[in-house]
């Protein structure tokens, strides 16, 4: 499989079109409009229209080339930025950078994915999946991602790179919980002894939850948003706290999950319930090792700077593909910085070389997969 060159101006123009169509995850109509732009851009570059897949009101797009998926390329078109941000932070190109809401995370990577695949002279075995709810945990698309990737030789994720262009070789898994405490209301002045104070019990549970963390091996268990009670003169009858868990291995996720579900009340008469569970499994280092080695060889052959790789705490849709056993390499998208921040930016000089690397990696993986099948 060979590739044809893609000009950086073409990539920048595509990024502009994507950025200027705002797509906050929570606004389904905006996400649908963004999907129209992505579909049109992709159809022009790839020559075919995508499947349009609407799940729970969220619009996802998929291009499949060939009967069997050997390599799946993942991207998302939703962002964290509310409608109207583009008026305050318009798309601009200056000083070797492009800026605009969602440019780094991850509309530049999406444009790169489209043009990398478009540059392939033979796309048989390649699938591009563009989801619309990644920023909120992929609730409607997680099964779609897994079904699309199942049986593939590799998954390549065009999320933005880490600092300095490093690829993301390991991502922590994410679990999200709510710990709910039920007590008994009573008048705080007249007969507080007749109540069961949910705030007091919640304090005990927060300390127990925080103690489950193991920083030495990278496990964080963080109580976040909390609340209890209804009025200042009433013994609180109910309280709750949200809990964010990040872990490098599935075993650690399971340990914390079991411990949370075993929480027991300290205050007599109180009741503790736990809701939630695993949101994304970890992308463990073993899932990316072989692909990273291939990418390093290809980068050298293309005359690019040596690649580096890091472990990060944030999750992506690559966690899902790794979780079902598909080798996964993440952070192949834009080089820049400022994800989710007003200084979000992309380095223009890195767009074309990085797109060539992605194209070469897809071509190499498809060719090798075909050889394995023939053998």
pLDDT tens digits, 191-217: 999 999 999 999 999 999 999 999 999
Average pLDDT of the chain, as a whole number: 96
Q: Quick one: pLDDT at residue 6?
A: 79
Q: Quick one: pLDDT at residue 191?
A: 97
**Tokens 């022009």 appear where?**
44
Q: Which domain holds residue 73?
A: 8-171+282-374
Helix, strand, or coil (residue 328): strand
Spatial distance between the Cα atoms of 74 and 317, rounded to a whole number of angstroms: 7
Q: Is the pLDDT of residue 375 over 50?
A: no
Q: Using alpha carbons only, how large is the chain's radius of gyration in Å?
A: 23
Q: How confident is the model at residue 373 (pLDDT cuts 50, 70, 90)?
A: low
User: Which residue, of 245, 280, 315, is where some domain finishes?
Assistant: 280
Domain check: are 135 and 261 in the same one? no
| Contact predicate 250/202, CB 8 Å | no
Domain check: are 276 and 286 in the same one? no
Q: What is the CATH number of the domain that holds 244?
A: 3.30.70.360
* Nearest alpha carbon to residue 112 among 366, 354, 361, 347: 354
Domain check: are 190 and 261 in the same one? yes
Find out whether the peptide bond into 106 is cis, omega within 30 degrees of 0.
yes
Domain check: are 307 and 321 in the same one? yes
Domain check: are 19 and 137 in the same one? yes
Q: What is the CATH number of the domain that holds 349?
A: 3.40.630.10
Q: What is the pLDDT of residues 257-279, one digit of tens each?
A: 999 999 999 999 999 999 999 99
Q: What is the pLDDT of residues 106-160, one digit of tens each?
A: 999 999 999 999 999 999 999 999 999 999 999 999 999 999 999 999 999 999 9
Residue 363's Cα: distance from chain center in Å? 24
Domain check: are 202 and 328 in the same one? no
Q: Quick one: pLDDT at residue 370?
A: 63
Domain check: are 21 and 155 in the same one? yes
Domain check: are 49 and 75 in the same one? yes
Q: Quick one: pLDDT at residue 286?
A: 95
Q: How many domains does the chain have?
A: 2
Q: Which of 81-85, 96-100, 252-256, 312-316 has the lowest mean pLDDT?
A: 312-316
Q: Is the pLDDT of residue 4 over 70?
A: no
Tokens of 267: 């205050």
Q: Quick one: pLDDT at residue 194?
A: 98
Q: How confident is the model at residue 338 (pLDDT cuts 50, 70, 90)?
A: very high
**Tokens 């990060």 appear where?**
312
Inter-helix orientation angle 351-374/285-301, to 10°: 110
* Nearest alpha carbon to residue 143 among 343, 323, 336, 338: 323
Which is more confident, 234 or 314?
234
Q: Is residue 1 part of a domain?
A: no
Domain check: are 225 and 351 in the same one? no
Q: Is the pLDDT of residue 1 over 50?
A: no
| Contact predicate 357/332, CB 8 Å | yes
Domain check: are 25 and 164 in the same one? yes
Spatial distance between the Cα atoms of 88 and 86, rounded to a whole number of angstroms: 5
Q: Is the pLDDT of residue 5 over 80?
A: no
For the beta carbon of residue 7, count every other beta carbon within 10 angstroms: 11
């Amino acid at each position: 499989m060979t590739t044809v060159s893609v000009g950086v101006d073409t990539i920048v123009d595509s990024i502009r079109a994507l950025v200027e169509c705002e797509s906050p995850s929570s606004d389904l109509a905006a996400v649908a409009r963004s999907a129209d732009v992505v579909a049109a851009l992709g159809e022009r570059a790839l020559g075919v229209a995508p499947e349009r897949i609407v799940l729970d009101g969220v619009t996802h797009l998929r291009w499949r080339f060939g009967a069997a998926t050997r390599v799946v390329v993942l991207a998302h078109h939703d962002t964290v930025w509310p409608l109207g941000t583009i008026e305050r932070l318009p798309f601009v190109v200056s000083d070797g950078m492009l800026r605009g809401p969602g440019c780094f995370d991850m509309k530049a990577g999406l444009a790169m994915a489209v043009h990398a695949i478009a540059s392939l002279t033979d796309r048989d075995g390649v699938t591009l999946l563009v989801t619309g709810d990644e920023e909120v945990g992929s609730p409607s698309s997680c099964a779609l991602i897994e079904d699309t990737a199942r049986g593939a030789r590799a998954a390549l994720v065009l999320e933005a790179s880490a600092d300095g262009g490093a690829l993301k070789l390991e991502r922590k898994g994410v679990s999200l919980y709510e710990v709910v405490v039920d007590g008994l209301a009573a008048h705080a002045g007249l007969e507080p002894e007749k109540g069961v104070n949910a705030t007091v019990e919640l304090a005990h549970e927060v300390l127990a939850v925080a103690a489950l963390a193991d920083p030495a091996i990278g496990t964080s268990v963080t109580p976040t948003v909390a609340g209890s009670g209804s009025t200042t003169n009433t013994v609180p009858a109910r309280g709750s706290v949200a809990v964010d868990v990040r872990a490098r291995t599935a075993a650690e996720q399971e340990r914390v999950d079991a411990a949370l579900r075993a929480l027991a009340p300290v205050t007599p008469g109180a009741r503790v319930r736990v809701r939630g569970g695993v949101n994304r499994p970890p992308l463990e280092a073993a899932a990316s090792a072989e692909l990273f080695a291939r990418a390093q060889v290809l980068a050298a052959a293309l005359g690019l700077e040596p690649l580096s790789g890091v472990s990060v705490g944030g999750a992506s849709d690559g966690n899902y593909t790794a979780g079902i056993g598909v080798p996964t390499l993440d952070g192949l998208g834009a080089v820049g910085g400022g994800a989710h921040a007003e200084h979000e930016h992309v380095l223009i000089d890195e767009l074309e070389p990085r797109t060539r690397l992605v194209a070469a990696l897809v071509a190499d993986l498809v060719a090798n997969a075909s050889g394995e099948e023939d053998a």
